[in-house]
């Protein structure tokens, strides 16, 4: 039986936890830092619309996405040494995600007539974009590339900040462009 080097294990755990924390926190800080901009330049109705669409989107992603990103992460972690299995897991989860998004899109086309919200198409696009972002993040983490995972989250947050600041503060394009900024990010 081989012994575990606790010193190296603790260092690796601390390093990976820090890297993942930076990636997770950067996306949360974005909304906090942009809140004064949103409240200053958007009306109460506009900000309320963005907030409710974001809340609905987050809820729908959990239901529609089936948390496949968590499953792919788990299976990749346990099969890191088997390259054929890794390819099978990644391709299967990608295919399933495409099918899920197609079913969601079809269902959305049917029920969208009953959704009395302005910018309701945001729900369709944001949910699909988030499902694939989460899938890519789960694959990246599952393969053990925590730096790329954190960098991807940082880039996503950065794109959101840039597009929202320019669309709202510089060009005064309104809520629609802000929502497109979230989707692009």
**Encoding tokens for residue 83?**
């390259």
Q: Which of 23-27, 149-153, 176-180, 181-185 has the lowest mean pLDDT?
A: 23-27
**Is pLDDT above 90 for 140?**
yes
Residue 58 pLDDT greater than 90, yes or no: yes
* Residue 35: per-residue pLDDT: 84
Closest CA to 125 of 66, 179, 51, 48: 179
pLDDT in tens, 79-126: 999 999 999 999 999 999 999 999 999 999 999 999 888 889 999 999
Predicted local confidence at residue 155, as pLDDT: 87
Would you say the C-alpha torsion 58, 63, 66, 67 has a positive or negative sign?
Answer: positive
Q: What distance in Å separates the CA atoms of residue 164 and residue 33, rounded to the nearest whole number? A: 12
Residue ranges of alpha helices (H) inside 42-174 are 44-64, 68-78, 83-111, 121-142, 146-164
Residue 167, token pair as written in the block: 């669309």
Segment 2-20 mean pLDDT: 70
| More confident site: 157 or 139 | 139
Residue 57 has pLDDT above 50, yes or no: yes
Q: What is the pLDDT of residue 12?
A: 72
Cα separation of 84 and 86, whole Å?
5
Rounded CA separation 160/123 (Å): 17
Least confident of 61-75, 76-90, 148-162: 148-162
Closest CA to 156 of 148, 166, 145: 148
Instruction: Return the pLDDT at 103.
Output: 98
| Residue in the structure block whose two tokens are 């462009």 | 177
Q: For residue 1, what pLDDT is reported?
A: 45
């Amino acid at each position: 039986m081989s012994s575990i080097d606790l010193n190296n294990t603790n260092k690796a755990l601390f390093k990976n936890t820090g890297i993942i924390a930076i990636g997770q926190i950067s996306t949360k800080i974005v909304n906090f830092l942009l809140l004064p901009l949103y409240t200053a330049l958007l009306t109460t109705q506009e900000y309320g619309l963005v907030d409710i669409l974001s809340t609905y989107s987050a809820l729908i992603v959990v239901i529609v996405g089936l948390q496949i990103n968590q499953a792919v992460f788990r299976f990749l972690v346990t099969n890191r040494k088997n390259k054929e299995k890794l390819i099978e897991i990644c391709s299967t989860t990608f295919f399933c995600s495409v099918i899920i998004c197609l079913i969601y899109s079809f269902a959305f086309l049917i029920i969208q007539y009953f959704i009395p919200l302005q910018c309701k198409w945001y729900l369709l696009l944001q949910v699909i974009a988030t499902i694939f972002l989460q899938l890519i993040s789960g694959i990246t983490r599952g393969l053990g590339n925590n730096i790329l995972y954190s960098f991807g989250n940082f880039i996503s947050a950065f794109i959101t900040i840039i597009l929202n600041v320019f669309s709202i503060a510089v060009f005064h394009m309104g809520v629609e462009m802000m929502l497109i900024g979230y989707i692009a990010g």
